[in-house]
């Protein structure tokens, strides 16, 4: 068995070590004897995305997001959306998560028309939402770090990825964090998020294996260090 990962915009969207998510997915496959190749798709290049199993898009500031608009409009946005519809697994973080929605209006009033792969809209505010945070999901609590001006509101076509335990999440108001649609996982969580959330990583790998091979058997790994890191962040946030 082998999975193909495509890292979209590694040259423009890569904050707070988001690239570590790709390394984590690759290692957790290889430790189980499953092959993994990683391709990079930078600004200006195209690829047949539905042929991949997992796409990763990291975070970026408003400036970097603005740089991508022409590239997305030239056809790549439609290809990303089609791959998401086709069931390719996606992990999209912060700026890369916002990009999957319909639009983002920055706090300075610029309006970015994004790709609409996820039914959601984002509006920026001067006050940023910054800090370690945690949210509850169907695969347990996830811990990470958020730093965004954008407030995201989900439409009826997507479900939240989780519910905020501590921190802000999508908008600091409705208690939702991230989005889930088909095999797309969107989150505000940097860190990178996957190394200290092995169950989250395995949920993405399982979705991709299921699509490619019709079954997902993920042998247990020795996650002692990963779980220690996870618990220590959770403890520092909740005191429990």
Side-chain-side CA neighbours of 61 within 13 Å: the count stands at 4
What residues contact 54, with CB distance under 8 A and at least 6 apart? 3, 4, 5, 6, 25, 88, 89, 90, 91, 204, 205, 208
* Preceding omega of 199 cis (within 30 degrees of 0): no
Minimal distance, residue 83 CB to ligand GLN, in Å: 21
Query: What dihedral angle (degrees, nearest 10) is formed by the CA atoms of 119, 170, 190, 182?
Result: -30
Taking the least distance from each CB to ligand GLN, the nearer of 92 and 141 is 92
H or E element: which one contains 50?
A: none
Taking the least distance from each CB to ligand GLN, the nearer of 50 and 61 is 61
Binding site for ligand GLN (CB under 6 A): 15, 59-62, 65, 94-95, 98, 124, 147-150
121 in helix, strand or coil?
Answer: strand
What residues contact 81, with CB distance under 8 A and at least 6 apart? 115, 116, 117
Taking the least distance from each CB to ligand GLN, the nearer of 133 and 211 is 133
Calpha distance 84→74 (Å, rounded): 18
Minimal distance, residue 128 CB to ligand GLN, in Å: 7
Minimal distance, residue 25 CB to ligand GLN, in Å: 19
Taking the least distance from each CB to ligand GLN, the nearer of 99 and 233 is 99
Residue in 6, 92, 148, 190 annotated catalytic: 190
What residues contact 9, with CB distance under 8 A and at least 6 apart? 41, 42, 43, 57, 58, 60, 68, 96
Provide the token pair at 129: 């939402």
Nearest partner of 39 among 24, 29, 54, 27, judged by Cα: 54
36 in helix, strand or coil?
Answer: strand
Minimal distance, residue 167 CB to ligand GLN, in Å: 14
Minimal distance, residue 149 CB to ligand GLN, in Å: 4
Residue in 6, 36, 92, 94 annotated catalytic: 94
Chain residue at closest Cβ approach to ligand GLN: 59
Taking the least distance from each CB to ligand GLN, the nearer of 62 and 226 is 62
Q: Is 92 a catalytic residue?
A: no
Q: Is 102 a catalytic residue?
A: no
The residues carrying an active-site annotation are 94, 190
């Amino acid at each position: 068995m082998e999975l193909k990962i495509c890292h979209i915009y590694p040259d423009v969207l890569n904050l707070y070590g988001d690239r570590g998510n790709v390394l984590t997915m690759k290692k957790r496959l290889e430790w189980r004897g499953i092959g993994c190749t990683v391709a990079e798709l930078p600004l200006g290049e195209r690829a047949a995305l539905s042929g991949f199993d997992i796409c990763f898009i990291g975070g970026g500031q408003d400036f970097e997001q603005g740089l991508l608009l022409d590239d997305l409009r030239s056809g790549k946005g439609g290809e990303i959306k089609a791959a998401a519809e086709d069931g390719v697994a996606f992990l999209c973080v912060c700026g890369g998560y916002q990009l999957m929605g319909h639009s983002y209006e920055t706090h300075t009033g610029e309006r970015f028309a994004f790709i609409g792969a996820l039914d959601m809209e984002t509006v920026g505010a001067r006050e940023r939402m910054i800090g370690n945070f945690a949210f509850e999901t169907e695969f347990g609590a996830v811990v990470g770090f958020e730093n965004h001006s954008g407030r995201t509101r989900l439409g009826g076509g997507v479900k939240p990825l989780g519910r905020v335990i501590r921190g802000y999440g999508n908008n600091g108001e409705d208690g939702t964090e991230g989005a889930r649609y088909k095999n797309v996982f969107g989150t505000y969580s940097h860190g990178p998020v996957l190394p200290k959330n092995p169950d989250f990583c395995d949920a993405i790998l399982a979705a991709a294996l299921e699509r490619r091979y019709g079954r997902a058997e993920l042998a247990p790994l020795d996650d002692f260090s990963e779980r220690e890191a996870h618990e220590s962040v959770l403890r520092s946030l909740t005191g429990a």
